[in-house]
Structures are given as structure tokens and as C-alpha cells.
Structure 1
Amino acid sequence: MTLLERIRGPRDLDGLTRDQLTQLAAEIRGFLIRSVSKTGGHLGPNLGVVELTIAIHRVFDSPHDAIVFDTGHQSYVHKLLTGRQDFSRLRKSGGLAGYPSRAESVHDIVESSHASSSLSWADGISRAFQVTGQRDRHVVAVVGDGALTGGMTWEALNNISDDNNRRLVIVVNDNGRSYAPTIGGLAHYLNEVRTRRTYRDVQLGSKQLFDRFGRPGRAFYRGTRGALHGFLGRFAYSDRMYSNLDIKYLGPIDGHDEAAVEQALQQAKHYELPVLVHVITQKGRGYAPARNDEADRFHAVGVIDPETGLAVSATSKVDWADAFGQDLVGLAEQDERIVGITAAMLRPVGLAPLAERFPARVIDVGIAEQHAVTSAAGLAFGGLHPVFAVYATFLGRALDQVLMDVALHRAGVTFVLHRAGVTGPDGASHHGMWDLAMLQIVPGIRIASPRDGATLAEELAEAVAVQDAPTVLRLPKGTVPAAIPALERLEDGVDVLARGTREDVLVVAVGVMADQALEVARLLEPQGIGVTVVDPRWAVPIAPSLVELSAHHRLVVTIEDGVRVGGIGTRLRQDLRAAGVDTALNEVGLPDAFLPHADRGEILAEAGLTPQQIARDIVDQMRGAKLPAARQAGEDARIR
């Protein structure tokens, strides 16, 4: 039995020797590489926090002491040390989540994987412990240097420093990267800390002691290192960043020296006030393909060859983000007003090609979506057309700014929402399922949902041409599907994809749901039910032709991969009612629930979003569907 296999809970770490802890760290890295290469997942971040997580669990007593991870993708080692070592179905239905999960363990507290929130959680938990007299309980927040670029982190620090009578330890896991190298003034400062002579002298001293005196010298150095780092930190660094916040600072500490990290945490634990421990780590530590990867592809990987790090199921198909990036570069070459904005995710959202072609025309604001949106309004006022590319799940953090800074000021800003709809393995906090319901309340907004590569190129060009209102393109996760040609494009831009022999059912398909809608039509035609399938292209506002078409069909069905509540179906229903159209309408979409991690197909099937289930429901509904008033009037006139 390996050391890792003997760990069933954090207290099993207590009796391990230093040599055993080193062996355990190596076993954990080997386990992560073997396991994640089979399932996919966040590999690089977890390889970087092995010794840090071991030290945290040796010093603190989880779950009595609350440990909060920001973000949760760096919690794989935490899962292993708290008894969860079956990674065979990681991020798959029935398997471990890719983030902390309360359903899995009492050791997990914060399930959301949105960055920069951990210090607010820690502030609240520590205040609760204080108020309820639980003075023996500590709170540990593990926050990355990338998350420190988010404004919410600094709001929390301001409040944490306002009341120092709490046992709160903030561990800054500083690897210089979030998805990519961390940007901004904070990053420059932390880089200065990492490269200052005092810190380099500490590192050099370790090597010199070991070279001269062997293990005894190393042991002596380790024994004094925590105090030395604390002194250097307070003397050289805290006066510049943290002293004004009145938070004690220890560091920087070599995050891969478990003994040094453990000693610093022990020191922090004995303060009865907030302490910040600055730990320097290497993302991808111990795995050459990850350490040598400048593009940070190993932040999150699919199935890979563990020896080479190369993708096993490489595909020649184009990803939605790549297609968007290529199209945007083409437009930017023709229009010098176009600039790109990213919130610390340059490559995942497809802006790397634009940055390579026009470096000065891409702005990385860090993990600061609110700032990104309002800054975009300012860029638009200055005569540019900003394109903010962001995961759909993260735009909710900046809804107020979309409303009050962009829409209210009629700013020409384009939002490109990646991973819209059901994303699959990342779970509840990453499904982009709320954007349609959330954004269509914004006055004047225009929302498009491309069904294939051709409509992506068209709609992106149309979006950046709008200068007096916000525009939105929502792109799903995965590869661009085969082209779906239109039979006809109506005057207001609606594409007719299929026409049945009878005007029985009108299916309005939003974006990539077009393929499922066409399959529904194929299933219903042999049963004598005629189906017209349309792609509105611009789902908001509702096109007049959709109202007219609805008036001539017996049933309207909208299919969208967003929540039904407040979705496109609801919007169309309201417009039909306003126009006096009485055609029955059925909204097919996702439930208003937090959906688990699973394959996209499994989640859609569970929600009833398969062609077979939709077709069965339509057959049932058609039995009682009456002719709409417009059709009935025509029939009456014909009979007379």
C-alpha cells in the first residue's frame, strides 16, 4: 500500500516523517498525472499546490477549521487528503466534482468556482465564529495571485482589516498565473517580491547550507526559515502593500518546501488576528509538459498522453473560440476601432489571435468583470468598439454595469459569451444557462446565437456595426458543427431552415439547438405533422416575422439551452399576447435549478431536451391544439 492509499483523512498526515511527506508529495503528483490524463480536468493548478495543501491540513484541523479555496479548481489535492481517492469518473456523472462539493464531504465549504470570492466567505465565516463564541476555530482562505486582481478581494480585505479580533489566515498562492500570466500593477509588485535580492538570498542560503553541511545544514535552515521569512516580509514588503490594511504579513515562502510552509502556517495560526501568508509556487510543478507550456494549456486539459502531454483525441474540427478569434481578426483588419477585452482568459475566449496581430488592441483587465464592462463603456465613448469576450457564467457578475454603464448610455459594446448553455463537466457554477433570461431585461440590447460557423461570422460583423446599443453573441462549448444552410432568409433576418407540408407546428430554435429542431421535424413528418423550423438569428428583440408565422401555425415550440424562466420562449409569448395572437406556445428549455456535472448530452436528456422527447411532447400537445384565430378566420371564409 502506498502512503497516499493510507491517507483516509487529514489526521493521517500527523505521524508522517519529513521523508514520508516528501514521498507523499511525489505520489500525489504521480496520481494526478495518471488520473487527470484519463478524464481531463485542472492539472497544472493542482500540481502546484501539493506541498501547500499538505501543510495546511497538517497545521489546521478540517472541518473544525474552515478551509475555503479560491478558486475551487485547485482542490484536487484537498480531495485526496480528505479521503476521496477515486478519480476514475472525475467531472463525470456520478463521479467526483471538479470543484469542492458539499455533497461529497464535510471538508468542502464553498462550491462556487467563480474567482475572488473566498476572502468574503472567510470574512463572513470568521465573523460568525467570533459572534457565536467559537474562538478555537480558524478560517483559512487559499487565494491565487490572479484572484487578487478582482475588486471583490480588495473589498473583503478592507473589511477583514476593520476588525482584527479574529483567527483568519489568508494564504496567497502566488504562481504568477491564473489562466495566463497575471497582469496589472499587483502582478508587477508580486513579481518584484519574487525577484528581490532578499528573497533570492534566502533561496541561495538554503543551497549553500546544504552544499556545505549536508542534511544538518538543511535542517538548521528549515528550523529558522519561517521566522526569517516573516522578518523579511514585515521588514521589506508589508510596508508597501499590506501595512495600510493592518494585516500581518509572512513571506514570501517557498511553496514547495513543505516544512517551511508548515512553520509559517503554525506561526500564523498562533496570532489571534488576520494574517496573510505569501507562498510562491510553480504551476504544473513536477510535470515537464506543463512546466514548459507557455500557452498554459495544462490549466485545464482533456484526455492526454501522460508521457507527452499531447491530446489523445485531437480533432481537426474548429473550436467556437478559435472560429470567433479568426473572424474577429478579419474584422479588426478592416475596422481600426475594434478592440478586445478579456478578464484574465486571453486564449480560452479566443482573443489570442487578435493580441498577436494587434498587441495594442487587446486589454487584459485581470479577474475584474465589472471593471471590464464599465471600461468598455468608456472605450465606446472614446470612439472605439470594444468586444468583451467572457464566459457566459461570469457575465452575471457585471449585470449592473451592463445595465447602468453600457445600456443606459447607449454604448456600442459587443459581448461575446463563451460556453453559453450547458457546458458539462464543470458543473453548476460554470453552466452558461442564465444569460438569455438575465440579459434580455436590458433595454435596447440585441442578442444573437449563431448555429454554425457561417452565422457566427455574419452575426459578429452585424454586432460590431451597432454603435448605439449593447450587442451579444452567445457561443457554446465545443467544436463548430457542420453548416446548416437556410432555405430562405426573411426580410427581418430570420432564417427558415425547414418547411413542412402543413403549417402545424412552428419550431423556433435558438443557436445550436437548430440541429435538434430539424431532427424533431424529421421525426414528426411521417406522423402527418407539418413542421416549420426557423432560426431567429437575433433572438432579442423578437423579429416581427416570428409573430406573423406564429399566427398561422397551430402550435409554437421554442427550443433553447437556457433556463425556461424568462427565456426566449417567455419573450415570444409576451409579444404574441401583445399582438393578439392566440396560438398555443410551449417553451422547451432548462429547469430553474443548479445542474450537476455530467456530459452535455446526459444533462440535455435529463432536462427533456432531446429530439425524441420534444417530438413526443408535440404529438401530445397537437391532440388538443386548436386552429389559431387567423387560420380559423381563413377557413371560415373559404367555407362561405
Structure 2
Amino acid sequence: MNANLLDSIHTPADLRALPASALTEVAAALREEIVTQVARSGGHLASSLGAVELLVALHHVFDTPRDRLVLDVGHQGYAHKLLTGRREGFARIGKEGGPAKFLRRSESAFDDFGAGHAGTSISAALGMARGLQAAGEDACAVALIGDGALTAGMAMEALNHAGHIRQSNLLVVLNDNEMSIEPNVGAIGAFLSRTLSAPPARRLRRLAKDVLAPLPQPLQQLARRAERSAKALLTPAALFEAFGFRYVGPVSGHDLPALLETLGNARGMLRTGEGPVLVHAITRKGAGYAPAEQDPLKYHGVTPFDTATGDMPKPAAPAPSYTAVFADAAIQLAKADPRIVAITAAMAGGTGLSRFAQALPERFFDVGIAEQHAVTFAAGLATTGMKPVAAIYSTFLQRGFDQVVHDVSLQNLDVTLALDRAGLVGADGATHQGLYDIAYLRCLPNLVLMAPKDENELRRMLRTGIEYPGPAAVRYPRGNGLGVPLEPQIRPLEIGRGEQLREGNDLAIVALGSRVAPALEAAERLAAQGVQAAVFNARFVKPLDLPAIAALARRCGALVTVEEHALAGGFGSAVLEALAGQGIHVPTRLLAVPDVLVEHGDPATQLARFGLDAAGIATAGQQLLAAVGRAGPVQRLAVTRASGG
């Protein structure tokens, strides 16, 4: 490949200066660069490989950034990043100081809209198109969305609205990598798209409309019905034209000449006011790299791998992941109780429920990228006596918050929410941090909220949530457990009862979930300095074990709370509220993630920066006791809060 060709492309303007005949070589060079770099750093591979030609063609045909380009989610966006000035730092993608794995407005003028959650692109592009039109600008907005993201209800809402207002400067490009589509469909579609979108065909359509106008209404309706029926037999046009879009396609998403012609024709349609337009492109996820083509799911998100073989060597894990432990526990419990069913929102692999699907396929439901529907579907199941377990990433459950409130909590329905990736998530960055779930769940009536200190406790909390006759949620982190033994029988916990792990009278450390183990280590460090710190595993955010926490506060006279969650509205806030309600006022330090957006980076480094590791917890305890010693007896509430950058 001609690496020098990529060396000459710093912006899409450089790409547009190249002849169309050179673009196939550009696409090949981009594909090679993506494979080479992602093999070193890890990242989203298969989706980006499948969209290379689409992005080359879009940046060549449209005047970006004057014309707006919105990529749904950003999994498919690595070629876009390489074409827009981020090639030099690409080796550090997903690492601190490097580019994000997703698109971000703050990172580049060519990232018109940031997103890590699917289904937002058409809504955002529609808003841009309308704004450009209102400003009198002769520009358009393009949304590039995968067929998987169309399962998001928001995408359908946007299609409906765009067609209703006839937004003439909006183009939606459907990146369809559904592997059941036969190759010959793409070939036929390429011919249809070039023919139907070409100016002569459009003139013929307008001529037909003029010819039909004088005819009696029944004949006009008959002719239109015949046209719609013919389209429906040959293409998916009927669906999208029902939304008010001009449908063009399908076209091969890897045939650059066909793409350039089709997108050029679509751009002409927008300029003559014939929009909104939808171009249907058929692609192969992982295209151009054999291992990713053969197993696109495996190569969707990858760790570093050997480019020659595709092998992803992994160091031996000290313990199974929390995700795997959850899935195995769900299967074990479901085999003993036929009422238990599992639900996921297009994340069967990510949540571990692909195991459940194999073991109990008739009781597994993947609803697509539709978290709102997942929650209310679970609520509906619960009304029939079923015991649904909905496994959804913490960050994605935010999309279903109203349903948790309106359909589950207010009706006190027996739904168990398993919140994977609660806490810091590493390379996925700000859009995926699970730092807000305590705040948005602990305010809800009827709901029990838990967080385990280790993987065995996760199993016990899952059973506890399932047996509780109302809404329950258990939040657990990304990554491997601590390697503790797993009890053969999964025993439930007493709701609202924490666990005293270490005695002490100088300082009380009340820890939640993933921060319990570092709290114990911090107590050891403090003991070496003569400070006897009690450590309490809270287990429950709601209901709090208030009697135990209050007794600790009274006995020790100084309290530190620690959690892997945002400070505002989190576990520490819940403890302070509860103690204040009891008239208990002791010097308190809340350790949590401060009020900042946490970007991509190494979670261990970030936890240390925020004072949430063992050293930070020990230091906070020392500082609190020093402050108390300097201030003398404290007769009122004194709170100091963690700071971080």
C-alpha cells in the first residue's frame, strides 16, 4: 500500500483534491492502518473496517465540515478519525492523552456530534439540517447509522419526524451489515441505486407526475399503488418511503465507484429539494481482514492481537470476571426457578447473557438497542408472576430511567436490574462511565439497591434481588473479581444488613462495592501508624444499614465513606442524609469521584488520582483525624470532600 498517500491527507479537503481513481488505494491504506494500529492498542475493529469505503466516499462527495457528518455511536469511525487529522496520535486511541474511541466535539471540528450510545445520529443530524436551513446556509446534514442502531426507538422517532417536516437537506446513510443478505442483492441494488438516483430517472419521475396529473383520481391512485408494489418487491423502499424519505439502494458499501455515483446523485437530490433521502448501503462487518470477516462479533471490540493470525493472547486471569459470575449465577438460579427470565438490550455478549441464551434459550430475550422497551417489557412480564432479570450496562440504563420510575418503581413490580460496568470503565471513556446509577436509583420508592464487595457476594445479591417481591438493582464493576471462593449454594442476604469486617475505635470507614477491598488495605496501613480503623461493608445503598452505621459513627467520632461513583447524590450523600436525620453529627469525609467528566484512561490510575485506592483512603483518614485533633471536640456536622482532577 502507498503509505505516502495517507501522509498527504490531513483533512478531508486533501482527500477531495485527489482524483476518484485514487480513492480505492486510499481505502486500502486506511484499512491496513486501522488493522495495524488497533492490533497494538486494542479498540473497535470490525465495525470500522466495514465502514471504510463509506467514509472515504462521504468525505469526498460532501464538503465537510461545512456539510455536517454525524456518525452513530462512533464504533464505525476510525477511518473518519484518520482522515481528519488524528493519524499521528491514533496509536494511543482509548488511552489517556490519546484520541477517544468515540467521536467528541471537543476533539475535532469534524466531529459534529459526540455519541457513545446508539440511535442518536438521525435526531442530531435532523436538528443540524433544520438549523442550517434556518440560517440560510446551502449545506446539508448526513447521518451514518448502522442497521443495528435502527432498533433504537429514538432512530424511528427521528425518521418519522424528518419525513413529517420534509427536511429537504437531510441525508441518512444506512450502513447495513446484516450478514443474511446475499451478495447478489448488493449487485442488483448497486444497479438500482445508480439508476433510480440518477438525474434522468428523477426527470422521468417528474414527467410521469405531470402526465398523471390530468387523469381521473382513481387512475392516479392505481398508478401510484402499482409503483409502490413494484418497489416493495425489489427493494425495502416501501418502509422508508412510508416515513417520507426518498429511498436509494441498496448499493454495495465496498464499491467505491458505485458509492461515489450514488452519493453524488443523492447530494444532487438534496440540492433540488427532493430530500430527505435515505441511501441503503450493504457492507460486511470486518471487511478486508479475514479473521474479522469470519467472526465479526469477536473482533467488534478487541484487545491487542497478532495481525498475521488474529490471535488475541490474554494473560491468565486471577479470577473470573464479574460479568461471567453474574451469568453463571443467573443460569443456576433460573434452572431452579422456571419463573426467572433474562433480558438484554443488544448486549448478550457484553452482559454475559449469551451463556444464558445457550443454556435456556426459551427464557432469554434480546430486545435490540431498546433499553426503554427492555425495562417495560420486564415490568409486563412481572405482572404475570414471572421474575425478569434485565442485565443492562449502568450507562445504558440511563436511557430507560423513566421506565424504571413509571413502569417498575411506582407499580412496585418484581423486576431485578443487573447493572454491569458500574464505576470507571477505562478506554470507553466519558460516554460509558457507570458513575451515576446510585444517584438516579436511590431516590426511587420501593427499590432495593446493592453493590457487592466481591464476586461471591454478587451471586448472593442476585438471588436477594430476585427473591425480593419488588424492584431491585445490583451494581457491579467491569473486570475480574477478587478470586474469592464461590459457595456452591447461592444464599440470599438479609435486606438492609451490612457487614462489619474490621473492628476499630479511632475511625470508621464505610465502604461500598468495589471499594471495600481497598478500604481494608487502608485500615492495615493506618494500623501500622497506630490508628485503629473499623471497616464496614455497607452492601446496601437502599435501605441503608442505619443502625450499624450510626453506632459506628457514635463510637468512632469520625467517619469516611468511600464509593466508586459520582460524589453528588451518591452513597456518601445517602449516609450523611441518614445520620443527619438521626441527629448524629460527626466529622465526615466523603470519598467519591468529583464533579468532573472522567475521560478514557487506566481505571487504576484514575482511582488513585481521585483518592479512591488504599493509599488515598488511608491519607483521607489521617487528614480527617488531624483536622479533628487540631479543631478539638466537634459539636456540629463537619464535612470535607475529596478533590480530584
- The two structures have a TM-score, normalised by structure 1, of 0.88
- CA–CA distance in structure 1, aligned partners of residues 404 and 258 of structure 2: 46
How far apart are 1:614 and its partner, in Å?
Answer: 2.7
- In structure 2, relative to structure 1, the CA distance for the partners of 1:197 and 1:305 (3 Å cut) is closer
- Paired position in structure 2 for 1:314: 315
- CA–CA distance in structure 1, aligned partners of residues 494 and 372 of structure 2: 37
- CA–CA distance in structure 2, aligned partners of residues 594 and 234 of structure 1: 47
Which one of 260, 263, 268 corresponds to residue 261 of structure 2? 263
- CA–CA distance in structure 1, aligned partners of residues 548 and 32 of structure 2: 59
- CA–CA distance in structure 2, aligned partners of residues 370 and 416 of structure 1: 15
How far apart are 1:611 and its partner, in Å?
Answer: 2.4
- Paired position in structure 1 for 2:83: 81
- CA–CA distance in structure 2, aligned partners of residues 249 and 104 of structure 1: 33
- CA–CA distance in structure 1, aligned partners of residues 620 and 453 of structure 2: 24
> RMSD between aligned alpha carbons?
2.5
Deviations 1:105-124 (A, max 9, x none): 10012222111011111111
- CA–CA distance in structure 2, aligned partners of residues 608 and 549 of structure 1: 22
- In structure 2, relative to structure 1, the CA distance for the partners of 1:44 and 1:530 (3 Å cut) is same
- Paired position in structure 1 for 2:524: 522
Query: What is the identity percentage for the equivalent residue pairs of Structure 1 and Structure 2?
Result: 37
User: Any runs of at least 4 consecutive aligned residues in structure 1 with deviations exceeding 4 A, and if so which?
Assistant: 195-203, 221-235, 489-492, 626-630
Instruction: Tell me the SS of whatever aligns to 2:301.
Output: coil
- Paired position in structure 1 for 2:210: none
In the alignment, is residue 619 of structure 1 matched against residue 617 of structure 2?
A: no
- Paired position in structure 1 for 2:164: 162
How far apart are 1:391 and its partner, in Å?
Answer: 0.8
Q: Does the CA-based 8 Å contact 1:43-1:299 persist in structure 2?
A: yes
Instruction: Tell me the SS of whatever aligns to 2:427.
Output: coil
Gaps of 5+ in 2: 206-229, 487-492, 637-645
Which one of 334, 337, 344 corresponds to residue 335 of structure 1? 337
- CA–CA distance in structure 2, aligned partners of residues 291 and 461 of structure 1: 39
Gaps of 5+ in 1: 178-190, 206-220, 631-640
- CA–CA distance in structure 1, aligned partners of residues 494 and 248 of structure 2: 66
Q: Does the CA-based 8 Å contact 1:249-1:275 persist in structure 2?
A: yes
In the alignment, is residue 16 of structure 1 matched against residue 18 of structure 2?
A: yes
- Between Structure 1 and Structure 2, how many residues are aligned? 592
Q: Does the CA-based 8 Å contact 1:505-1:531 persist in structure 2?
A: yes
- In structure 2, relative to structure 1, the CA distance for the partners of 1:525 and 1:342 (3 Å cut) is same
Alignment of 1:271-310 (within 5 A): 271=269, 272=273, 273-293=275-295, 296-310=297-311
Which one of 68, 71, 91 corresponds to residue 94 of structure 2? 91
| AA partner of residue 358 (structure 2) | E
How far apart are 1:499 and its partner, in Å?
Answer: 2.0
- CA–CA distance in structure 2, aligned partners of residues 45 and 123 of structure 1: 24
Alignment of 1:429-578 (within 5 A): 429-467=431-469, 469-483=470-484, 493-500=497-504, 503-543=505-545, 544-578=547-581
How far apart are 1:629 and its partner, in Å?
Answer: 8.1
- In structure 2, relative to structure 1, the CA distance for the partners of 1:357 and 1:277 (3 Å cut) is same
Instruction: Tell me the SS of whatever aligns to 2:585.
Output: coil
- In structure 2, relative to structure 1, the CA distance for the partners of 1:199 and 1:22 (3 Å cut) is closer
Instruction: Tell me the SS of whatever aligns to 2:426.
Output: coil
| AA partner of residue 318 (structure 1) | P
- Paired position in structure 2 for 1:250: 248
Q: Does the CA-based 8 Å contact 1:233-1:252 persist in structure 2?
A: no
Q: Which sits farther off after the overlay, 537-546 or 254-263?
A: 537-546
- CA–CA distance in structure 2, aligned partners of residues 278 and 33 of structure 1: 26
- CA–CA distance in structure 1, aligned partners of residues 517 and 556 of structure 2: 21
- In structure 2, relative to structure 1, the CA distance for the partners of 1:286 and 1:456 (3 Å cut) is same
Instruction: Tell me the SS of whatever aligns to 1:104.
Output: coil
How far apart are 1:104 and its partner, in Å?
Answer: 2.2
- Paired position in structure 2 for 1:588: 591
| AA partner of residue 517 (structure 1) | A
- CA–CA distance in structure 2, aligned partners of residues 112 and 242 of structure 1: 24
- Paired position in structure 1 for 2:350: 348
Q: Does the CA-based 8 Å contact 2:45-2:301 persist in structure 1?
A: yes
How far apart are 1:528 and its partner, in Å?
Answer: 2.0
Q: Does the CA-based 8 Å contact 1:72-1:99 persist in structure 2?
A: yes
In the alignment, is residue 118 of structure 1 matched against residue 121 of structure 2?
A: yes
- CA–CA distance in structure 2, aligned partners of residues 127 and 388 of structure 1: 37
How far apart are 1:353 and its partner, in Å?
Answer: 1.1
How far apart are 1:79 and its partner, in Å?
Answer: 0.6
- Paired position in structure 1 for 2:234: 236
- CA–CA distance in structure 1, aligned partners of residues 322 and 501 of structure 2: 21
How far apart are 1:551 and its partner, in Å?
Answer: 2.0
Alignment of 1:367-406 (within 5 A): 367-406=369-408
Instruction: Tell me the SS of whatever aligns to 2:102.
Output: coil
How far apart are 1:2 and its partner, in Å?
Answer: 2.4
Q: Does the CA-based 8 Å contact 1:48-1:282 persist in structure 2?
A: yes
Q: Does the CA-based 8 Å contact 1:554-1:627 persist in structure 2?
A: no
| AA partner of residue 260 (structure 1) | A
- In structure 2, relative to structure 1, the CA distance for the partners of 1:120 and 1:574 (3 Å cut) is same
- CA–CA distance in structure 2, aligned partners of residues 141 and 407 of structure 1: 36
Deviations 1:464-501 (A, max 9, x none): 1112x21111111111123399xxx999531222223x
| AA partner of residue 373 (structure 1) | V
Alignment of 1:164-243 (within 5 A): 164-176=166-178, 194-195=181-182, 199=186, 201=188, 227=198, 236-237=234-235, 239-243=237-241
How far apart are 1:584 and its partner, in Å?
Answer: 2.2
- Paired position in structure 2 for 1:28: 30
Instruction: Tell me the SS of whatever aligns to 1:252.
Output: strand
Q: Does the CA-based 8 Å contact 1:492-1:545 persist in structure 2?
A: no
